[in-house]
Amino acid sequence: MFMRALSAAAGFEGRPLNDDERQSLNAALRYFREAAPRHNADEEESLFPRLRLLPHLEVRRALSDLARLEQEHHWVAPLHLKVDRLGGKWLADGELGKDEAQAFRTAVEKLAAMYRTHIEFEESVLFPLANLVLGAAEAAEIAAEMAKRRNLDI
């Protein structure tokens, strides 16, 4: 949803935004600034280490993909910073210049391309595999760690 909002904004070519477009862009920027890093930590600090300890054949097959996901988490960080900086400037100034709008669009397109395969793997392989191989106690530990990252009580 938030990636779609960024992609839609990228198509506006830096023009002044209406109120709904501004709210949508602001929400997407906030999500990728605040929630996405917690999601990455959920995987890298809670889920992946537990999966790596398991002897299951399915998990062993997925290990190279786990490494790829971690690399993608780090690879996208500078793109997110660029999108956040340019998007924030757009919101503050009301519009972007042609070069800035192009830089915003290019960064968003790179993010969107990466997230398509990243999310597809998470939803079709990683999360179903985790549900299959992790026990209830491990799942509860992961949930508690995730809640702690969000300052939530469970």
Q: Are 86 and 100 in contact (CB under 8 A)?
A: yes
Note the pLDDT of residue 56. 85
* Structural domains of the chain ordered from first start: 2-149 (1.20.120.520)
pLDDT in tens, 2-11: 999 999 999 9
User: Can you tell me which residue has the tokens 């990728």?
Assistant: 32
Q: What is the dihedral of CA 115, 118, 123, 124, to 10 degrees?
A: 130
User: Can you tell me which residue has the tokens 């830096």?
Assistant: 14
**Length of the chain as a residue count:** 154
Note the pLDDT of residue 96. 98
pLDDT in tens, 138-152: 999 999 999 999 999
